[in-house]
């Protein structure tokens, strides 16, 4: 019960007693006591009424509000002198709901003696963790031979704080073929978010099949086809050559085109296949006696231990004869000169030396350069070659630096000495501008002509893989387009350049 109400009741009772007592004429002392009490209670009631504080029913002295989630502050229920005065209460102070912090507001209640204020604490807090969203797949298949490239992510936080640069990325190994990329971030209120991307390492690369020998073969009808097989290498499983399945047959008794298929799969099921084309053909029975439509493949600057044997292998496989204009060679390379000769190729003289300043300083120096190598070749194979090719060709102009007019004289001198010299009318460019096997191939096939003898200049010096890699395709092009291949002999009509010195 309100104290003011209690005092009012006591005051009324005293007033009643005073009224009764004052009607009695005797006992003045009792009257004085009662009157005094009446006055005291009257003053007390008046003071209590005037000094009574409003009752502001605050549920909690502190309120926690989530950032960015605005909630209107409601005035608490308030009474004054036993009356509801909630509607007259004012709120003093403001709260920034978009910013974490502690704010103070007051509820102001009007009273008889002035304004009465009650303080309320409001805490704007951030208790919601950020959100990490991964770009790309959460479970990512990565080729075992590839490097993982971060797919990216975005971060959102209800405080609108940019947390992108605060994200920490770590790696957790699970197994040999699985690991997790862990993304973690903490906002300024200590809320932490963690996201994971699972990376599965997979084998998705097929083996590589390499055909032994030429992938495009031409063999004469009724000859023997020998399957040379292939090799297969897988980056993960290694050598799978023994797993290759070969299908297809070649009927060497019937002219036509045949295909041999090579197929292999690795342990992960990646499949590779390739095909060898074999053309069985019938050689022309009436080749041109004039030499038109003939290709003379010539190789300068050999022999070399790295290139010459492989060139001879291709020529043997294709059943094509060529001409080798050789330089001086040591005893370790004699077997290549013998092989060239024994396999039906022509051996020509390019010179004991290829140094222009030495061989073109005089007519005698050049002829000594030729005959010295001629004698060495004769000692090696028992045959003395009489076909030559001038270093730089008969049209070279560098010889002018050492002896003017020497090429005009030598072109006659060598013939008088029983030699025949051969320049070229098709250049592969393998010692000049051609940088790839494709360029070598195009330089040759684009300059062939059926209306003449085609003397093709190539080289078999060490490291000349561009010519080696183009040779089989050049031969196939010639055969498929009706050309025939021959080696140069002493009876071959000379193909020469215009002499410029």
CA end-to-end span of the chain: 137
Q: Which of 187, 203, 300, 476 is catalytic?
A: 300
313 is catalytic: no
**b/e map of 409-420 (b: 16 or more CB within 10 Å)?**
ebbebbeeeebb
In which order are the strands placed within the sheet that holds 271-281?
216-220, 271-281, 256-265, 245-247
Query: What is the three-class DSSP state of 456?
Result: strand
Contact present, 474 and 400 (Cβ < 8 Å): no
- Work out the angle between the directed axes of helices 465-480 and 308-318 (0-180°, nearest 10): 10
Q: Which residue(s) pair with 256 in the sheet?
A: 280
Q: Which residue(s) pair with 262 in the sheet?
A: 246, 274
Query: What whole-number distance in Å separates Cα of residue 367 and Cα of residue 353?
Result: 11
497 is catalytic: no
In which order are the strands placed within the sheet that holds 55-56?
55-56, 78-80, 83-84
Contact present, 31 and 21 (Cβ < 8 Å): yes
Q: Which of 459, 460, 473, 476 is catalytic?
A: 459
Within 404-496, strands assigned E span: 420-421, 426-427, 453-459, 484-485
Q: Which residues are catalytic?
A: 300, 459
């Amino acid at each position: 019960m309100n104290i003011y109400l209690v005092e009012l009741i006591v005051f009324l009772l005293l007033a009643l007693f005073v009224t009764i007592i004052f009607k009695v004429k005797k006992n003045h002392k009792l009257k004085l006591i009662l009157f005094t009490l009446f006055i005291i209670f009257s003053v007390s009631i008046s003071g209590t009424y005037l000094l009574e504080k409003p009752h502001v029913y605050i549920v909690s002295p502190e309120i926690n509000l989530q950032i960015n989630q605005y909630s209107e502050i409601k005035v608490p229920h308030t009474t004054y002198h036993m009356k509801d005065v909630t509607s007259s209460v004012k709120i003093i102070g403001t709260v920034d709901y978009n910013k974490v912090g502690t704010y103070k507001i007051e509820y102001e209640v009007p009273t008889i003696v002035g304004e009465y204020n009650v303080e309320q604490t409001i805490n704007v807090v951030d208790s919601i963790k950020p959100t990490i969203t991964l770009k790309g797949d959460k479970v990512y298949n990565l080729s075992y031979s590839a490097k993982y490239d971060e797919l990216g992510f975005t971060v959102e936080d209800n405080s609108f704080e940019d947390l992108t640069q605060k994200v920490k990325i770590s790696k957790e190994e699970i197994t040999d073929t699985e690991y997790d990329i862990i993304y973690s971030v903490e906002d300024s209120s200590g809320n932490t978010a963690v996201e994971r991307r699972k990376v599965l390492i997979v084998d998705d690369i097929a083996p590589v099949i390499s055909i032994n020998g030429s992938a495009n073969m031409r063999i004469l009808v009724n000859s023997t086809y020998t399957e040379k097989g292939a090799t297969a290498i897988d980056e993960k499983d290694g050598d799978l050559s023994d797993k290759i399945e070969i299908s297809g047959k070649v009927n060497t008794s019937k002219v036509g085109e045949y295909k041999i298929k090579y197929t292999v799969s690795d342990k992960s099921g990646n499949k590779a296949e390739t095909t060898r084309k074999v053309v069985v053909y019938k050689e022309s029975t009436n080749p041109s006696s004039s030499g038109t439509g003939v290709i003379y493949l010539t190789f300068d600057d050999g022999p070399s231990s790295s290139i010459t044997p492989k060139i001879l292998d291709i020529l043997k496989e294709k059943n094509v004869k060529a001409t080798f204009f050789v330089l001086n060679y040591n005893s370790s390379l004699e077997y290549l000169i013998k092989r060239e000769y024994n396999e039906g190729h022509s051996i020509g003289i390019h010179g004991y030396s290829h140094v222009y300043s030495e061989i073109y300083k005089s007519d005698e120096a050049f002829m000594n350069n030729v005959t010295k190598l001629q004698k060495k070749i004769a000692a090696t194979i028992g045959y003395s070659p009489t076909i030559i090719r001038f270093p730089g060709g008969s049209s070279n102009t560098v010889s002018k630096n050492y002896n003017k007019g020497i090429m005009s004289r030598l072109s006659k001198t060598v013939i008088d000495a029983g030699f025949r010299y051969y320049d070229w009318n098709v250049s592969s460019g393998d010692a000049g501008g051609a940088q790839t096997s494709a360029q070598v191939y195009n330089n040759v096939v684009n300059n062939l002509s059926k209306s003449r003898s085609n003397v093709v200049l190539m080289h078999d010096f060490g490291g000349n893989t561009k010519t080696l890699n183009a040779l089989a395709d050049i031969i196939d092009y010639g055969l498929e387009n009706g050309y025939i291949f021959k080696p140069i002999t002493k009876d071959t009509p000379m193909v020469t350049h215009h002499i410029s010195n």
